[in-house]
Amino acid sequence: MLIPYIGCIAASIAILVIGFVVWIKPAREKATQQLEDAGKLKDQSERELQTKRKEILIEAKDEAHRIRAEVERENRENRAEIQRSERRLTQKEETLDRRLENLDNKEKSLVSKEQETDSLQEDLKNQIVQQREEVQRIAGLSSEEAKTLLLKTIEDETRHDCARLIRDIEAQAKEEADKKARDIVTIAIQHCAVDQTSETTVSVVPLPGDEMKGRIIGREGRNIRAFETLTGVDLIIDDTPEAVVLSGFDPVRREIARIALSNLITDGRIHPGRIEEMINKASAEVETLIRESGERAVFELGVTGIDVELVKLLGKLRFRTSYGQNVLNHSTEVAHLAGSIAAELGGNIQLAKRAGLLHDLGKAVDFEVEGPHAVISADLCRKYNEHPEVVHAAGAHHGDEEPRTMEAVLVSVADAISAARPGARRETLETYVKRLQRLETIADSFAGVDKTYAVQAGREIRVMVRPNEIDDLGAAKLARDTAKKIEEEMEYPGQIKVTVIRETRAVDYAK
């Protein structure tokens, strides 16, 4: 019974021995491998450590070199700054030494001059005593008489010195007055900030589309002819996209034409009858605009009590230019300047403003009335019961009469300032406008003429005659006579076309 158990035990022991042998060998090999790996890792770590140590040493050397270089650079800069400071100190010491030397020399010179002055004073006293004794001996005058004579001599010398002092004071006062006047004018200009506009001779009217150009021209050009005939303004239709140009030297006509054309484009019905109706409406609208412009200028300046007719004439100045300068804006600016200068000088501010506003009033009617515009302005102010000083200032602002009041002088000065500033006026435009006005004046001088319009930038003059006074043959003769008179009285480049228009209308009403 024991034999099988012993066999089993032996077998188990044998299995255990064999398993141990089988297990321990791989474990030993594994341990051996791990030891080898550990050795390799140690060697690698030592190599990396050596490499890292070398890198750290190199970095430390570089940093030390950088720090050493920076320290050396700072030391050089400090040494250079110290050297500069030393040079400055040396220069200052030399300068101080020179100044001390100069002061010593000046002090010696002053002492010497003081001694000379004392000596001169002593000599002068002796000379005065000798002169007095000599005068008494020669003139046989007593001391009192000599004193009286001396006092008279001193009085004469004092009067001479006083006269010279007064002259110097007057010269200095004049110089200071000129400077004060410039300061006052500068302050007045700074206080006055009136916008100025330069009028041109064209206006651009936008169109909703290019197809509108054909409707404006009309069948065989009847619409454009009617428009130009009724307004006296050229209607230029070219390749400009969605726009037409109105050309005319008279800004009132051009504004009427612009408003009428804009209304016709908005309305869409464009034919000669409608054109005439719109032009009449635009004329009424411009009249209202003229009145409102005059009232606005008067309100802006705070001037009261101006006659209604004068206000209308002021409004007309909105459409009048002088050397390219808008006359209404110029008049407003002159009023502001004159009032500001009057305030600085203690003058009548309201009177100066009123005279400045009305000084160019004659330019609103100078096409209808002969004479200088300053004289016309004075006559208008007198006609509508303006203050006599306002009348005088308006008439004297261009030297047609001698200024007698402060306000008259101020208006003249303000007018010169407003006109003389850069960009205020343009000579070329004024000459051009005057030439066109001269063309119309020549045509208007003939009998039977109703209206005249200078168009095409002065290359054509259109003369509308009254049909009951001039027939067809008379129209041809009028065209020839007008052209001949233009040739005799004007100078112009190229040629000028004279067109005489005679139109007969028959009107009746169906009831």
* 313 within 8 A of 365, measured Cβ to Cβ: yes
pLDDT tens digits along 198-249: 445 677 788 888 788 888 888 888 888 888 888 888 888 877 777 888 887 7
As a three-state string, the secondary structure of 210-238 is CHHHHHHHCHHHHHHHHHHHHHCCEEECC
Distance, CA of 181 to CA of 15 (rounded, Å): 135
Distance, CA of 56 to CA of 403 (rounded, Å): 100
Just give the CATH number of 192-289. 3.30.1370.10
**Which segment of 178-187, 194-203, 315-324, 366-375 scores lowest on mean pLDDT?**
194-203
**CATH of 428-506 given 3.30.499.10, 1.10.3720.10, 3.30.70.1350, 3.40.630.30:** 3.30.70.1350
Residue 125, pLDDT > 70, answer yes
* 256 within 8 A of 283, measured Cβ to Cβ: yes
Tokens matching residue 413? 């000065």
Instruction: Provide the pLDDT for residue 186.
Output: 56
Please tell me if the domain spanning 192-289 has the same topology as the one spanning 302-425. Answer: no
> How many Cβ atoms are within 10 Å of 338's Cβ, its own excluded?
35
Q: Where are the domains of the chain?
A: 1-135, 141-191, 192-289, 302-425, 428-506
What would you measure as the largest C-alpha separation in the chain, in angstroms?
197
In this structure, whether the domain defined by 302-425 belongs to CATH 1.10.3210.10 is answered with yes
**Which segment of 46-50, 141-145, 247-251, 332-336 scores lowest on mean pLDDT?**
141-145
Distance, CA of 271 to CA of 260 (rounded, Å): 13
